[in-house]
Amino acid sequence: MESKQKTARWQALEILEEVFEEGAYSNIALNRALSQSPLSQADKGLVTELVYGTVARKITLEWYLSHLIEDRNKLDNWLYILLMLSLYQMLYLDKIPQHAVVHEAVEIAKIRKRGSEKFVNALLRRIEREGVADFETIKRKNKRYSIQYSLPVWLVKDLIEE
């Protein structure tokens, strides 16, 4: 980031990139990054929530985004991760105003790749206006539970059988 200090969301994005792209363990990547970070304790807490929350809800977040993005492969990986991170905040963190989530995501996108901020802004504003797809549209029970609880289908199947 061009400024002297990275924001909590920027730090969370970098950690999530390590986890999703490089296969890093979230706890190790998070601890390493935060031990070197000048962020306040409150911001470090936010980074922790964002990283663990996005990882835990990945299946659900990807399902929501699949209804909004035509071809995920056309997006840069960091951009897709930024959208998952932002969507997690919008859906699951009620103390963060929606406009703050959108603003910060747009600022990050602007710095990472000029022009991408327009796409981020449009997509997140659309979610803000229209909401996200409904789980109830999924007919197969195991698949619906998988998406709803962000668990692999095989685990849902085993849990139901148990």
pLDDT along the chain (162 residues), means of 10: 70 97 96 95 96 98 95 93 98 93 96 94 95 92 95 94 90
**Whats the size of the chain, residue-wise?**
162
Q: How far is CA 106 from the centre of its chain?
A: 14
Contact 85, 54 (CB under 8 A): yes
Q: What is the pLDDT of residue 3?
A: 45
Q: What is the pLDDT of residue 5?
A: 61
Q: What is the pLDDT of residue 117?
A: 95
Measured CA distances, 67 to 15, 43, 71, 98 (Å): 26, 31, 10, 20
Domains in the chain: boundaries:
8-131, 134-162
Domain range 8-131, its CATH number among 1.20.1440.230, 1.10.940.10, 3.30.450.20, 3.10.20.30: 1.10.940.10
The Cα 7–Cα 119 span in angstroms is: 21
The Cα 80–Cα 88 span in angstroms is: 12
Q: What is the pLDDT of residue 6?
A: 83
Q: What is the pLDDT of residue 36?
A: 93
The Cα 96–Cα 77 span in angstroms is: 25
The Cα 108–Cα 96 span in angstroms is: 17
The Cα 123–Cα 119 span in angstroms is: 6
